[in-house]
Every structure is written in C-alpha cells, then in structure tokens.
C-alpha cells in the first residue's frame, strides 16, 4: 500500500537522522524485517540480536521484537539510546516469572546454579548466574553439568525439559511456557506428515515434549533457518511462529514450507502460531518511536550492572 511506502521512506530517513540501526526478530512483520535488511540492520534470533546491537557503532538501537530484547540491548549498551516501537510487547515467559517469586525460589535452592532464559526481565536476569538463549542453552548446560553443577532453570518448562533430556543434567524447572509454541500438537503434525512422508519436521524447543520428540531438528529461529538450508528434504513442516516463513522461504525458495498445525485435528489455526506481542510491532509505531523518541528503554544502573554479568557470561561462552 501507498501509506506503507510513505512510512518506509520516513523510517529510512529517520534512521539516518538519528544515527540509528534497526534490529529485528524473525517473528516481526515482513515489512519490518525487510526494512532492517535494506538499511544495514539485522534480522536474527535473540542471541544474534544481542550480539549485533552490542557491537554496532550506531548511537541509537531500534529493537523490533519484545521487551526483553530491548532490555538486553540496553544492559549491554548503556551508552546507546534503545527504542522500541512499543513498550507493551511482553512475552508470556517473562510475565509468568515475577522477580520476587523467582528470587524466593532461588533462595530455597541455594545449592543450584541459576540459569535463566533470555526471555525474562532485567530483574530476573540480575538474580541469575547465567543467561542463555535457545541457540546456546544446551552447550552451556552441558558445560555446567561437566563441572558437576546442579541447575535451577527458569522460566520455560518445555525448553528446560528438552535441555534436561539432551544433557542428562540435574535441572529443577520453573513452571512457565510460551503461549505460542505450547499450541503445537503432535497429532496434527503426524497427520500432516502422513500426507507428506518425505517432509522434515523443524521445531522450536519451546514446544511441548510430544512435539519436540517427533522433530528432525529442534533449535532457535536462526538454527531452524540454517537447518532448512542444509537438509535435503524439499518439504518442511515448521513448528514456530509463522513470522519465520518470510526469511526461511527466501533462504529456500525451491522448498515447500508447511505451518505445523496448532490443533489436534490437523487444521491450521491462522491466529495461533503468531505471537500477539511480536505482532504489536508495526511500521506506524516504529516510525513514531524514531520521530518522537517514544518507547525508550531505561534500566536502573544497579540492576543493569547485576544483569550484565550473566549476560556477558553467555556472550563470552565458547562451547
Ligand atoms: P530465538 O532465540 O530462537 O529467536 O527465540 C526467541 C523467542 O522468543 C522464541 O519464541
Ligand atoms: Fe515469548 Fe513465545 Fe512470544 Fe517468543 S513467541 S516472545 S517466547 S510469547
């Protein structure tokens, strides 16, 4: 549409005027992902977003994604201005892990190393020994286990279960879940697979164990796109937010991609496999944040220093 074109031009101009760069997650709108790519920003998984923002020389980062991604960018680059199209975009994992309750849980298990998923508030990260994203979680827990450490894991129980199965580590799990990935159903995927027996199944490990169990590949968003390229299958069933199809299809234009069903009867549900908070990012509020400096992320300095340590451990970790 013409209005979109005008917004895109405005955003491009404002990015230059503000010495800003756009850092977008794969689950945001296609137009936002395209803009990030066209303007020298990045489209990535949550670990790569953090790395990109921290090393980029721009004085302003515009983070299109959900709140924890903006907070992580600010914790890593306090000297930069960090803007988000909306500060309302949270995550069910973050909401389901309030800092005070989490802190009490940690206090009750002082013998355990505290590892939290990046999808948490700065206050929860500040209580942790390690922060991990899904792309690095298995490697970090393997490392900790090899040192004989017992783990307290939060907040995603499905990802925690997956890591425990992969590594055999002693992990005590917080009871949180992603409302998007929790909807995928093994039965629906199996039904689809019986129609396309040659299809490979790609799954984000925030999905329930029954779904991860039938996956050919489980991994972060970037890892799933990588797998789409390296697998020889020309049909792929993908269980993650459907925002990923934009970049995945570009990466494998010759392959057929299927959305994994979110209902047991094999029907796809158009609104299920899309994160409602990621969907709050739009061209309009993106332009507004750059124009009016709305949606700026602030993190209290003492909290920032404490959350920085476990985040830096992740960024410095070599498997
Ligand atoms: P990735 O690190 O795989 O991008 O995951 C972030 C996320 O929120 C998935 O739901
Ligand atoms: Fe959080 Fe799930 Fe949305 Fe990712 S898809 S931001 S884990 S609610």
Tell me whether 0.95 is exceeded by the ipTM: yes
pLDDT level of residue 269 (50, 70, 90 thresholds): low
Tell which atom from ligand 1 comes closest to the C-alpha of 220: 3
Tokens 């700065």 found at: 122
pTM of the model: 0.96
Topology match between the domains 2-89+278-299 and 93-178: yes
Tell which atom from ligand 2 comes closest to the C-alpha of 206: 7
Q: What is the pLDDT of residue 319?
A: 78
**Which of the four CATH numbers 2.60.40.3080, 3.40.50.10860, 3.30.930.10, 3.40.50.10800 does domain 181-259 have?**
3.40.50.10800
Q: Measured between alpha carbons, how far is 121 from 70 in angstroms, rounded to an integer?
A: 10
Beta pairing class for 200-203 and 171-173: unpaired
Residue 271 has pLDDT above 60, yes or no: no
Query: Cα of 253 to ligand 2 centre, how many Å?
Result: 26
Under CATH, which architecture does the 93-178 domain have? 3-Layer(aba) Sandwich (3.40)
By the 10 Å C-beta count (0-12 exposed, 13-18 middle, 19+ buried), 2 is classed as exposed
State percent of the chain over pLDDT 70: 97
Tokens 């306090």 found at: 78
What top-level class would CATH report for the domain 2-89+278-299?
alpha beta
Question: Whose CA is closest to 21, among 3, 42, 5?
Answer: 42
Tokens 């993190």 found at: 299
Query: Cα of 219 to ligand 1 centre, how many Å?
Result: 9
Please work out whether the CB of residue 289 comes within 6 Å of at least one atom of ligand 1.
Answer: no
Q: What is the pLDDT of residues 200-232, one digit of tens each?
A: 999 999 999 999 999 999 999 999 999 999 999
Helices marked H in the chain — which ranges?
Answer: 2-17, 30-38, 46-55, 67-76, 92-95, 99-107, 122-126, 137-146, 157-167, 186-195, 209-212, 221-230, 245-251, 283-292, 301-316
In this structure, of 114-118, 178-182, 183-187, 263-267, the range with the lowest mean pLDDT score is 263-267
Domain ranges of the chain: 2-89+278-299, 93-178, 181-259
Mean pLDDT of the chain: 96
Tell me which residue has its CA closest to atom 8 in ligand 1: 119
Ligand nearest to the CA of 278: 2
Query: Cα of 119 to ligand 1 centre, how many Å?
Result: 8
Tell which atom from ligand 1 comes closest to the C-alpha of 180: 10
Q: What is the pLDDT of residues 46-89, one digit of tens each?
A: 999 999 999 999 999 999 999 999 999 999 999 999 999 999 99
């Amino acid at each position: 549409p013409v209005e979109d074109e005008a917004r895109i031009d405005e955003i491009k101009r404002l990015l230059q005027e503000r010495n800003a760069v756009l850092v977008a997650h794969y689950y945001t709108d296609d137009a936002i992902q395209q803009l990030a790519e066209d303007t020298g920003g990045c489209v990535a998984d949550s670990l790569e977003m953090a790395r990109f923002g921290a090393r980029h020389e721009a004085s302003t980062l515009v983070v299109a994604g959900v709140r924890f991604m903006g907070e992580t960018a600010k914790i890593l680059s306090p000297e930069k201005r960090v803007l988000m199209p909306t500060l309302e975009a949270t995550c069910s994992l973050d909401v389901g892990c309030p800092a005070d309750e989490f802190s009490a849980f940690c206090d009750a298990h002082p013998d355990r190393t505290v590892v939290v998923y990046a999808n948490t508030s700065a206050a929860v990260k500040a209580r942790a020994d390690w922060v991990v994203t899904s792309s690095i979680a298995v490697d970090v827990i393997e490392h900790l286990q090899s040192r004989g450490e017992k783990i307290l894991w939060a907040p995603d129980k499905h990802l925690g279960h997956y890591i425990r199965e992969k590594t055999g580590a002693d992990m005590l799990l917080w009871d949180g879940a992603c409302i998007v990935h929790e909807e995928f159903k093994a039965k629906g995927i199996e039904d689809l697979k019986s129609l396309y027996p040659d299809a490979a199944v790609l799954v984000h490990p925030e999905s329930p164990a029954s779904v991860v169990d039938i996956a050919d590949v489980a991994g972060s968003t970037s890892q799933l796109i990588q797998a789409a390229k390296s697998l020889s299958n020309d049909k792929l069933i993908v269980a993650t937010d459907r925002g990923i199809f934009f970049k995945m299809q570009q990466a494998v234009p010759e392959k057929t991609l299927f959305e994994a069903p979110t209902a047991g009867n094999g029907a796809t549900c158009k609104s299920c496999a899309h994160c409602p908070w990621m969907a709050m990012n739009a061209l309009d509020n993106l332009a507004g944040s750059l124009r009016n400096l709305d949606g700026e992320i602030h993190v209290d300095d003492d909290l920032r220093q404490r959350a920085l340590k476990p985040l830096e451990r992740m960024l410095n970790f070599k498997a």
